[in-house]
């Protein structure tokens, strides 16, 4: 035993070190591949019993379907797996797209401001401010959302007439698409600002100076030269923000109501924004007791998780592919 320890304490040969480090790296690979395989395997019963991709469609009340699954116990029949997940998929698409469309212009404008136009003392303040905003935990956003924004929307923005007009289908409490999207936009903006402003400050000054020497003023030089040059970084920032928005579970669970409802435009755009919804991630949080219980619930939740995982991987792959032709500009 002592001989073994003594042997270990002698300087390691390069070969042994390489194998050890390589084993650590391989272990990480195996863990990640295992993670994807796990989710797929656990999601398989739902996919199988719903006939392929039918479970992505609409039809029926998702809350009711999940509730029935809870009641089927440990050995559910094949019919218990019936689920139609479109309401939550639609909710996820809605929140992500609205949040991105608010956050992307905001992030671009803020980055241009930070890099070009902010006076020095303000710029020194803004860098830590953006970093702080990026690292605020999502549960704090959710807390402020549910204790401040939701009552504000419910009591001051939604009129009584609007509430009664949809009373038969849904109750408008202020926990809504509006609050969820706005808070989500605030959450993903700092990620994009950090990446884009870092890329903007990396553009060689000579490129912009060349444009300004031709008579273009600072703002147009930035827009025409720097923004075009950092397109890969903008794509990467957008993909990162999109992945964060897709996977946000806790905050959306807290501020977006308690029903797997698909907001619709039947009563006009304002009420569309005021309707509650659920996203893929927040419905998993909502039904988390199902992980010890019925295999039907278990498998459905893993199917939702599989959707999230596939979209995250697709985003990562997509941003890599989009960046490939942009690499011509030699800017990372």
Site string for another protein, 44-83 (x = CB under 8 A): ----------------------------------------
Q: Does 309 bind another protein (CB under 8 A)?
A: yes
Q: Which of 54, 56, 144, 212 binds another protein (CB under 8 A)?
A: 144
Q: Are 214 and 313 in contact (CB under 8 A)?
A: no
* Footprint of another protein on 231-250 (CB under 8 A): 240, 243-244, 246-250
Total residues interacting with another protein, rule: CB under 8 A: 88
Using the rule CB under 8 A, give the single segment among 51-59, 78-86, 140-148, 262-270 that binds another protein. 140-148
Q: Where are the alpha helices (DSSP H) in 86-119?
A: 86-112
| Rounded Cα gap, residues 132 and 123, in angstroms | 14
Helix or strand (DSSP H, E) at 121: helix 120-135
Using the rule CB under 8 A, give the single segment among 2-10, 44-52, 159-167, 299-307 that binds another protein. 299-307
Which tokens is 220 given?
Answer: 């147009």
Q: What is the full DSSP assignment across 8-20?
A: HHSPPPHHHHHHH
Q: Does 124 bind another protein (CB under 8 A)?
A: no
Q: Which of 102, 133, 235, 322 binds another protein (CB under 8 A)?
A: 133
- Residue 203, CB half-sphere, CA atoms under 13 Å: how many? 28
Q: Does 20 bind another protein (CB under 8 A)?
A: yes
> Measured from the CB of residue 25, what is the shortest distance to another protein in angstroms?
5
Q: Does 147 bind another protein (CB under 8 A)?
A: yes
Q: What is the full DSSP assignment across 204-239?
A: -HHHHHHHHHTT--HHHHIIIIIHHHTHHHHHHHHH
């Amino acid at each position: 035993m002592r001989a073994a320890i003594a042997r270990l304490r002698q300087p390691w040969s390069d070969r042994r070190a390489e194998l050890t480090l390589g084993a650590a790296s391989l272990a990480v690979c195996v863990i990640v591949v295992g993670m994807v395989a796990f989710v797929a395997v656990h999601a398989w019963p739902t996919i199988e019993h719903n006939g392929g991709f039918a479970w992505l469609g609409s039809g029926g009340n998702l809350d009711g379907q999940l509730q029935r699954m809870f009641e089927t116990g440990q050995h559910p029949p094949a019919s218990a797996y019936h689920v139609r997940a479109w309401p939550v998929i639609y909710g996820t698409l809605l929140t992500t797209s609205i949040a991105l469309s608010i956050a992307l212009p905001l992030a671009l404008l803020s980055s241009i401001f930070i890099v070009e136009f902010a006076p020095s003392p303000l710029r020194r303040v803004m860098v830590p401010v953006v970093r702080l905003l990026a690292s605020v935990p999502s549960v704090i956003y959710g807390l402020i959302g549910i204790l401040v924004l939701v009552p504000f929307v419910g009591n001051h923005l939604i009129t009584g007439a609007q509430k009664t007009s949809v009373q038969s289908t849904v109750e408008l409490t202020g926990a809504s698409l509006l609050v969820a999207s706005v808070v989500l936009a605030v959450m993903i903006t700092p990620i994009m600002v950090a990446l884009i402003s870092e890329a903007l400050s990396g553009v060689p000054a000579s490129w912009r100076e060349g444009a300004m020497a031709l008579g273009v003023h600072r703002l147009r030089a930035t827009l025409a030269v720097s923004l075009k040059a950092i397109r890969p970084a903008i794509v990467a920032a957008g993909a990162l923000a999109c992945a964060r928005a897709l996977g946000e579970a806790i905050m959306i669970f807290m501020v977006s109501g308690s029903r797997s409802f698909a907001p619709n435009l039947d009563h006009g755009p304002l009420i569309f924004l005021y309707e509650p919804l659920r996203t893929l991630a927040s419905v998993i949080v909502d039904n988390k007791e199902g992980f010890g219980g019925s295999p039907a619930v278990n498998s459905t939740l893993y199917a939702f998780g599989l959707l999230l995982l596939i979209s995250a991987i697709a985003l990562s792959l997509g941003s890599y592919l989009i960046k490939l032709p942009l690499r011509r500009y030699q800017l990372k």
